[in-house]
Structure 1
Amino acid sequence: MLGTVPRDLPQTIGFVLVPGFSMIAFTSTVETMRLANRLANRPLYRWPLFSPDGNPVAASNNIALTPDGDLEQASQLSTIAICGGQGVHRAVDRSFISWLRRMDRSGADVGAICTGSYLLARAGLLDGYHCTIHWEQLAGFAEEFPDIEVTTELFEIDRQRFTCAGGSAGIDMMLNVIAMQHGHELAARVADQFMHERIRDRHDHQRISLPARLGVRHPKLLSVIELMEQHLEEPLSRAELASKAGLSTRQLERLFRKYLHRSPARYYLELRLNKARLLLVQTNMSVIDVALACGFVSASHFSKCYRDFFGRTPRKERGLPPHGEPGGELDDEVG
């Protein structure tokens, strides 16, 4: 397993690159192993690359990498990592899912980097395991796979499964693996080469703190925003938000106007609409299900709010053509 000392060196971890994979998530993971090899002055790791068909595959930044082989050749390995990126749910096909299941039956350790966790979930390989995924994908993942134990950790290593949230978290996952397998001193030297000030634990937050994100440090305002983020599916009323924060509704309005230059209702609506956009572009949920998951009781109201905010309807967000009678597009959004 990834978190145990390997029997033989170098340890081989095959990377399956899905079209549109995240380059930073991939290179963060691989470069950590490369530096470990260099500083140890011996080959501790190797990382052959594969694509579904063996052809070059482009990352989300349009840089294409040439793999060493296809899925059939990757089947010979005992450890594989699926590298995903934006739009990973559109990369799913039956042959890929069947291959993942065969790898599981063969006893391989099957892991995922960034949104690769979505593919493992579709294959049923995360049932009964703890897993993680990039914070931007968490809402959609939880909606589509409600029975899977998904966390906000930087990475998870759970028996024959390992998942990493992506971004620079690949560095931290592999630094922790290197420390377990080859000692903390080597891991610290690798971190130093990266100018990575510390080796983050898996429990470290994926996102920067709310005050840093908003540039606001008013404790009661922050507590209200946290409440809003926790109650997107069933929004709280203005009075409920104020009461829970120990404020009057007038004080609540003043705080939002002073620090965020909008009303609490407007800020709350924007949170819900931004979550809706993530669900639309990251999942195959129907538009009406997205609306309900974001606290809208009417598909037509959701579509109007969405169009007013983003300048396009939910269907157009997905690149789908409008349908139905002229002027009837809002009601057709439920499909």
Structure 2
Amino acid sequence: MASDARQPQTIGFLLLDSFTLISLASAVEPLRMANQLAGRELYRWYTLTLEGAPVRASDGLQVTPDISTEFCPPLDMAIVCGGVGIQRAVQRPHISWLQAQARSGRRLGAVCTGSWALAQAGLLEGHETSIHWECLAAMQEAFPRVPLTTRLFSIDQERATASGGTAPMDMMLTMIGREHGRELAAGISEMFICDRVRGEQDQQRVPLKHVLGTTQPKLLEIVALMEANLEEPIGLDELAHYVDVSRRQLERLFQRYLHCSPSRYYLKLRLTRARQLLKQTALSIIEVASACGFVSTPHFSKCYREYFGMPPRDERLGSERGTSVMETACRADGDHRLSGITSLEGLLHSAIGKSSLHVANEAPVSSAILALANARGEPTYASVRI
């Protein structure tokens, strides 16, 4: 989505049967708040189904879309919202519509299990893709040419995919930050009581038992022992002894099923825990190193830099800047606020003048306009200059 100060970016959310409501909300709400904090319509959005008929979310709530795919206005980006039973939910007309959007040069995205629809349409080959961990194994088997990742979300060229739950919020905040500046993204995060914006390097915590099934109980037991002993790591010989396998068998299990050595996997667990502590606690770097089983801070810093591409100190400073940037972002500017209000009058007049029951060949009024109008009385309206 290219930034344009005059023309709002238009996003269509294609709702599949049994889509997850939390993923839709996590994707839409940052757009609403971006408009509110900017004081003008940066984004507008529509919800879509094939025929414009209501669709039920996975929690049973029925959602009435704004319009059908046939009469959808031109989009800058189309995002597929998937959920439960994704293989049954994707229909041939969905595939055709998505392929037509791609041919027209639209950016494409997906949340939760919606990546399955894009993959089925042949639109993810060569693009790093995120999907909810429950679908990882099945998708890898069904679409071997799609490069899958366990990251929370992936933005790769003209594709943006998020794993589900609240991960779409992080994805949208990252895109908003790239288009309209970090201050706006930080302001949105602050409004949603979100302590930090997770980045593209953050991983889903995929339960190992889901990856391995029940076929490797000893490997599951070893990993459980590792996870329970991060502060005082257990030696590999001792781990092997606990589960009654040889050291060589232990190494074979890890290489075959986890594609790394046991020591490398153990280090990954400890460093991942260290990253959580750096971002989410006030523990010093020395305390974090000790809590994750590192005997010296220099050794911890070296391992951390090699794995994450930055030293622990930079990770900590980045988190602190992210939480404090809102203080400088919220500038009360009366002239800017007034111009934002004035610019809405024409939009509001048009929106109110139209019936909510639009005819088939007339695009509906984007709910972004009404949401922005309702936000004009909020103290945070137009509080972030872009």
Fold match, TM over 0.5? Answer: yes
SS in 2 for 1:21: coil
SS in 2 for 1:178: helix
Aligned to 1:37: 35
SS in 2 for 1:48: strand
- What is the CA–CA distance in structure 1 between the aligned matches of 2:39 and 2:239, rounded to whole Å? 64
Aligned to 2:70: 72
Structure 2 residue 245 is matched with structure 1 residue 247: no
Asked whether the 8 Å contact 2:19–2:83 carries over to 1, the reply is yes
95 and 75 in structure 1: CA distance in 2 versus 1, 3 angstrom threshold: farther
Aligned to 1:154: 152
1:201-220 correspondence to structure 2 within 5 Å: 201-207=199-205
Q: Which of the numbers 50, 53, 64 marks the counterpart of 1:52?
A: 50
Measured against aligned partners, the alpha-carbon deviations of 1:16-50 in whole angstroms (never above 9, x if no partner) come to 10110010000011011111111111111111111
Structure 2 residue 124 is matched with structure 1 residue 89: no
Unmatched tracts of structure 1, length 5 or more: 211-225, 255-335
230 and 101 in structure 1: CA distance in 2 versus 1, 3 angstrom threshold: closer
SS in 2 for 1:73: coil
Asked whether the 8 Å contact 1:129–1:158 carries over to 2, the reply is yes
- What is the CA–CA distance in structure 2 between the aligned matches of 1:15 and 1:35, rounded to whole Å? 17
Deviation (angstroms), 1:229: 7.0
Q: Percent identity?
A: 42
Aligned to 1:23: 21
Aligned to 1:124: 122
Deviation (angstroms), 1:92: 2.1
Q: Which of the numbers 109, 112, 120 marks the counterpart of 1:114?
A: 112
- What is the CA–CA distance in structure 2 between the aligned matches of 1:100 and 1:94, rounded to whole Å? 10
Q: Which of the numbers 181, 187, 208 marks the counterpart of 2:179?
A: 181
Measured against aligned partners, the alpha-carbon deviations of 1:84-142 in whole angstroms (never above 9, x if no partner) come to 00101101222221221121112111211111100000110001111110122111111
8 and 124 in structure 1: CA distance in 2 versus 1, 3 angstrom threshold: farther
The one-letter amino acid paired with 2:51 is D
- What is the CA–CA distance in structure 2 between the aligned matches of 1:230 and 1:133, rounded to whole Å? 14
- What is the CA–CA distance in structure 2 between the aligned matches of 1:230 and 1:99, rounded to whole Å? 33
64 and 237 in structure 1: CA distance in 2 versus 1, 3 angstrom threshold: closer
- What is the CA–CA distance in structure 1 between the aligned matches of 2:218 and 2:55, rounded to whole Å? 48
Structure of greater relative contact order (alpha carbons < 8 Å, 6+ residues apart): 2
- What is the CA–CA distance in structure 1 between the aligned matches of 2:174 and 2:240, rounded to whole Å? 47
88 and 229 in structure 1: CA distance in 2 versus 1, 3 angstrom threshold: closer
236 and 65 in structure 1: CA distance in 2 versus 1, 3 angstrom threshold: closer
SS in 2 for 1:162: strand
Higher-Rg member (1/2): 2
- What is the CA–CA distance in structure 2 between the aligned matches of 1:197 and 1:163, rounded to whole Å? 22
Deviation (angstroms), 1:74: 2.8
The one-letter amino acid paired with 2:243 is L
Aligned to 2:320: none
Measured against aligned partners, the alpha-carbon deviations of 1:131-177 in whole angstroms (never above 9, x if no partner) come to 11012211111121122101111111112211111110111111111
How many residue pairs get matched? 234
Asked whether the 8 Å contact 1:54–1:67 carries over to 2, the reply is yes
Asked whether the 8 Å contact 2:137–2:211 carries over to 1, the reply is no
Q: Using the TM superposition, name which of 71-80 and 106-115 deviates more.
A: 71-80
SS in 1 for 2:65: coil
183 and 96 in structure 1: CA distance in 2 versus 1, 3 angstrom threshold: same
- What is the CA–CA distance in structure 2 between the aligned matches of 1:28 and 1:17, rounded to whole Å? 14
- What is the CA–CA distance in structure 2 between the aligned matches of 1:46 and 1:75, rounded to whole Å? 11
- What is the CA–CA distance in structure 1 between the aligned matches of 2:94 and 2:143, rounded to whole Å? 19
**RMSD across aligned positions (CA):** 2.9
SS in 2 for 1:47: strand
6 and 118 in structure 1: CA distance in 2 versus 1, 3 angstrom threshold: farther
Q: Which of the numbers 197, 200, 203 marks the counterpart of 2:198?
A: 200
Asked whether the 8 Å contact 1:75–1:103 carries over to 2, the reply is no
- What is the CA–CA distance in structure 1 between the aligned matches of 2:19 and 2:81, rounded to whole Å? 6
233 and 108 in structure 1: CA distance in 2 versus 1, 3 angstrom threshold: farther
Deviation (angstroms), 1:53: 1.6
The one-letter amino acid paired with 2:34 is A
SS in 1 for 2:138: helix
- What is the CA–CA distance in structure 1 between the aligned matches of 2:193 and 2:76, rounded to whole Å? 32
Q: Which of the numbers 133, 139, 148 marks the counterpart of 1:141?
A: 139
- What is the CA–CA distance in structure 2 between the aligned matches of 1:236 and 1:60, rounded to whole Å? 32
